Structure 1
Amino acid sequence: MRTFLSRAAALTATSLLIGAGPALAYESTEVSDGGNISGRITFSGTVPTKMIVPDNRDVCGGPREDPQIAVSDDGEVLDAVVYISDIQQGKPWPEMTEPPRLDNRDCHFVPKMVAMQPGPLVIVNSDPLLHNTHIFYGRRTAVNLALPKQGLEIEREFERPGILRITCDEHGHMHAAGYVAANPYYDTTQDDGAFEITDIPPGEYTLIVYQRTTGAKEQTITVEAGQTATLDVDLAQ
């Protein structure tokens, strides 16, 4: 069972997630009868673009129309995160072998969507010029970090769940988004727009698809024991 909620409801839920209040504690437990959610995120409309005239053209390239949604040739969205927002108990967090990385590369952020459990994020400058990575929760600065040298790597902690807005103060065309998870039930879209969330305790949940330009699309979905609920979302609708 899936129910689309209104855009207003989705934006309200996202605002609550971005806000300053602490999230309820997540409790890890054994999940023996879990189900799964899988699907594909697409954008069927005309991808919005923004005209940019970069500085440092030898690295950043020349003037161009810059797509605001990363999509494949088949319209599959490559820079979205999908997560369950209202689950307080379930599978353990995965063991983190190394922290996620956010790279300033060729005057782009790589990846365009960085999703992570609370903890460290390594911010990298791969370009032979100054970048200033500025990361916000909503309008509130979380990190404002100058990266003056190529090869510089700096680690910062992100402990509060929420959506991150990522910009470069030196290159205004550079944008990305992030998600610090409140629970381990999340995934980013792959090269074919696909996602999969596994080992979910049976029940009804709120599932959110977030992309920086389209914002949040929120649905309710029912997960049954041992079953996979499929969900395809067109962010242009």
Structure 2
Amino acid sequence: MKLRSPGLSMVAVVGLLALPACKKEEAPAPVAEAPSRAPSPTQQPLPPAAAAGAGEGAAVAPAPAGNGVVMGSVSFTGTAPVMADLAPSVDPACDGRPEKEQSVLVKDGKLKNVLVRVRGTVAGAPAAPSTPVVVDQSKCTYVPRVQGAMAGQQVVFKNSDGTLHNVRGVVGTKPVFNVAQPPSGAPVQKPLPADAEVLRLKCDVHPWMTAYVVSNANPYFATTGDDGTFTLTGLPAGTYTVEAWHETLGAKTAEVTVKDGAPADASFTFAATDAPAKP
């Protein structure tokens, strides 16, 4: 089967996926799946809402089950680690990408890209939405880098770049899929692996590209931005375990009691000495 992109063939794609720069990563799955214009079992048509908003990079939240709110911020104490320079790229499609590694981003003492979520099932919580979460590839960077999804939700991968990418999904050290995406190719949809709590994404063509989709049993999660803040809305009154998860610094938890009409605080603090997260 030929890729539907001028000048590309499956032989060329497989050759790119075996680049020496990726030797330190897990071996790619044996066959990279090339998207076609016709739907297949591994490339399903997007729901209308997903196709219209596929560049947003965020799930559409279901209707809330209550009116409780948990809000706070995630801080970083001590000296933040210095992020390494990324290897130079000669690919013009990568112009404008970050110049440094993005795993630990601290600004004014606040930590970005922390997934804050309520752990476990929540009675009366809405089911997983039919709208998928979206991961875009823009300027040779996954956008967003960290996001949550409900167990059973689909994930859509877009390629907004004028260059070849592939999306290799890894759970722990086990590759679970490997999808080739030609320049500006059609979006590809995949189910979130049922046994995956953290799905890590890699690109073998551009080995600095990394992203995470964190699966959760309920819809109460959010990712911190530059200011380190988060807000979880729609919770029924009750006591919950709230977790803050970071890709390299591990996880912090807190017990939080939520009351109707009274926002609860659940702030967290990380440091460079915190244990690394499991991949």
TM-score tier by shorter-chain length is: 0.7 to 0.9
Q: Decide whether the 8 Å contact of 1:176 with 1:212 is kept in 2.
A: no
1:51 aligns with 2:85: yes
Partner of 1:11: none
> Deviation string for 1:49-94 (max 9, x for gaps)?
13321443433359953232234x4243331211111234133247
Partner of 1:22: none
TM-score using structure 1 length = 0.74
Q: Decide whether the 8 Å contact of 1:207 with 1:221 is kept in 2.
A: yes
1:122 aligns with 2:156: yes
Of residues 229, 248, 255 in structure 2, which corresponds to 1:220? Answer: 255
Q: Decide whether the 8 Å contact of 1:37 with 1:198 is kept in 2.
A: yes
Q: Aligned partner of 1:42: which letter?
A: S
Counterpart mapping for 1:61-210 below 5 A: 61=95, 64-71=99-106, 73-93=107-127, 95=129, 98-117=131-150, 118-158=152-192, 160=194, 162-210=197-245
Moved over 3 A (4+): 54-57, 61-65, 93-96
Specify whether residues 176 and 48 from structure 1 end up closer, same or farther in structure 2 by C-alpha distance, changes over 3 A only.
farther
Q: Which structure has more strand as a fraction of its residues?
A: 1
> Deviation string for 1:23-64 (max 9, x for gaps)?
xxxxx9x956x5321111232431441332144343335995
Deviation at 1:139, TM superposition (A): 1.9
Provide structure 2 residue ranges, at least 5 long, that are not aligned to the other structure: 1-61, 275-279
Range with bigger deviation, 162-171 or 214-223 = 214-223
Pick the structure with greater CA Rg: 2
Overall identity of the aligned pairs, in %: 29
- 2:247 & 2:171 partners in 1: Cα distance? 13
* Structure with greater contact order relative to length (CA < 8 Å, sep ≥ 6): 1
Range with bigger deviation, 123-132 or 61-70 = 61-70
Q: Aligned partner of 2:228: which letter?
A: G
Does the residue aligned with 2:93 lie in a helix, a strand or coil? helix
Q: Aligned partner of 2:170: which letter?
A: F
Counterpart mapping for 1:8-47 below 5 A: 35-44=68-77, 45-47=79-81
Deviation at 1:95, TM superposition (A): 4.9
Instruction: Supply the RMSD in Å over aligned alpha carbons.
Output: 2.9
- 1:217 & 1:162 partners in 2: Cα distance? 16
Partner of 2:26: none
Deviation at 1:230, TM superposition (A): 0.8
- 1:146 & 1:79 partners in 2: Cα distance? 26
Does the residue aligned with 1:125 lie in a helix, a strand or coil? coil
Q: Aligned partner of 2:256: which letter?
A: I
